[in-house]
Amino acid sequence: MFALDDIDRKLIGELLRNSKRSFRELARAIGVSAATVINRVQRLESSGVIKDYSTRLDHERLGYELTVITEIIVSKGKLLETDAEIAKIPNVCAVYDITGQTDAMVVAKFKSRSSLSEFTKKLLSMPYVERTNTHVVLTTVKEDFRMMNDL
């Protein structure tokens, strides 16, 4: 586990809000020098705390109106291989190994029912997928993995 101090927490919070800002702007926002921000960012990147920088999209505005959560049951001993194959599918946003009656959960987004149907059939055609159970999301109340509160 990587230990964060208050400066790191403030810096990460600012980066999560808007990572396009300059080091000088970030420094001003958290009350330190630009050199401190540069050093902290480099340390957070090299330690793997900051993996990359990305843009948050409104998927619905881009036509991805269907979000699904699919439970998957996989043959014993083949979960990691199956997860890796599922993770390569472009519509897949997340793959989780879970506890309980199913082995994995997949979150994916689609523009049409036909593309969702193709996805489901592709999953079911995988050698070690025994069964799936797909849930269609009716309303997205919150979808944000940037956990800013409890760093």
Q: What is the pLDDT of residues 50-94, one digit of tens each?
A: 999 888 889 999 999 999 999 999 998 899 999 999 999 999 999
86 with 132, same domain: the answer is yes
Q: What is the pLDDT of residue 112?
A: 97
Domain span including residue 30: 6-46
Give Dmax over CA atoms of the chain in angstroms. Answer: 56
Structure tokens at 109: 């987004």
36 with 75, same domain: the answer is no
pLDDT band at 121 (very low <50, low <70, confident <90, very high): very high
123 with 70: CB under 8 angstroms?
A: yes
Q: How many CB atoms lie within 10 A of CB 126?
A: 17
User: What is the domain-level CATH number for residue 30?
Assistant: 1.10.10
